[in-house]
Structure 1
Amino acid sequence: MLSAYYIQKGLLFRKPQNDPDLIKSLLERLKHSLSIALFHFHPLSGRFVTPNPPSYFVLSEIFQAKGHQYDIGVPISCPPILNRWFPEGHGPKINLPFKHHDEFIRRFQAPKLRQRIFHFSAESTAKLKAKANRESNTNKISSFQSLSALVWRSLTRARRLPYDQTTTCKLATNNRTRMEPPLPKEYLGNSIHAVGASATAGELLQHDLGWAAWKLHLAVANHNDTAVRQYLEKWLESPA
């Protein structure tokens, strides 16, 4: 993941009335609010850059706190939990069996991006979900699983893969609510896994949408606390 780009998101706000003094005061308050927010979220401190043209972050509860704009002790409703979770008997540090960074860092050179964007209306997505559940004789398949199954089958058909070639559809899943006990929502950082379903191209195209969607549903449903811990224990035996 060292080669992956950061997720970049921004917030746009309506520009205040044309009052230079007001705008200057507003920007100063915004910047100071950020500095106070970073006091709470200190792992992020020093890791922000401002591209050109400038952008400003308002991490807004602190900004709107009356009478506390210059107080680092201003309370926030969801203070972050900075302690890392590790399986019992491990942590807080893990020693990787490498002697040189070339052994574990491989920079990814991305090919030229080929991208196509499709829009699915709420109505068409609902129909797709109903179709997948009807074909699988269930009501457990989600809209996302139905749509993912459609994309999986469509890409496989478009690629004209050999019928005996295995193809896999992977989904990112959040471990927080799957852990026992669950990780708190204030846990700072990510705890995710990639779960997937596999089939040969022939199987995928010979069966209907519901068949593919049900395989994805099972991959998600079976990813529980036991699955997470088994994966981590296996990884800790042979870190990579």
Structure 2
Amino acid sequence: MKSPSSVRHVSECFMKPKYNREESEEPIYLSPWDLTTLFIHYIQKGFLFPKPSAFDSDQNHIQHLLEKLQESLSLTLVHFYPLSGRFATRKCEANPSKLVIYVDCKKGPGARFIHASLDLTLDDILSPTDVPHVVRSFFDHDGSINYDGITESLLSIQVTELIDGIFIGCSMNHMMGDGTSFWHFLNSWSEIFKAEGKAIAISRPPTYEKLFPEGHGPIISIPFSESEDQFVCRDKEKDKAQLEKIREGIFHFS
């Protein structure tokens, strides 16, 4: 394998739903189960594709792909509109030492979309026994925890162009859903992408109804210190250094 290269960000933008739905004006309150994931990392999955030969001779192909991905993502966010928002907080009126965290679907610029490039090949990524550390750079929110959704996007898509391949890395805040919800979003996005603008309906719309213990909710408050900065105290650089020590393996299945 070549000496490690750095991922270069070529461009970035933020994606909003193609059009607004009336229900997106209302906040979404998190259930107790959602809140238990407050301090764990974003859920991240990626897809690695060989680059079609046509891409080598015409750079317009990659631009066309990016535009199709952005357009279909914007249409998908019509259904998954909370992913374009941010977390918001407010102190509990009855007890200022407690905090309410909820999803503000209108807050923030939207879901983040990044086009990046890296001077490595598919073989450079797949041939080592351990996953190269540079693969972490294929995910915009690698190392972030769910509470970071206060200021960071709840969904981020990074398209990294390799010498002979394309990696599409998806990061979603784990408080917004589990693995099943994550794949539901990705399958819906794929469904709309393949429709090429001919339809925006999806076969299985998401639901945002939350389950709360009987007699509790929909507003759940949690203990809070004196400020939001004190609410989550961690050394991001230390966390990143710890992650660098983890060995990850690649498994291939036919």
Give the shorter-chain TM-score range: 0.3 to 0.5
State the TM-score, normalizing by the size of structure 2: 0.37
Q: Calculate the TM-score normalised by the size of structure 1.
A: 0.39
Higher strand fraction (1 or 2): 2
Q: Would you tell me which structure has more helix in proportion to its own residues?
A: 1
Report which structure shows greater RCO (CA 8 Å, sep ≥6).
Answer: 2
Larger radius of gyration: 1
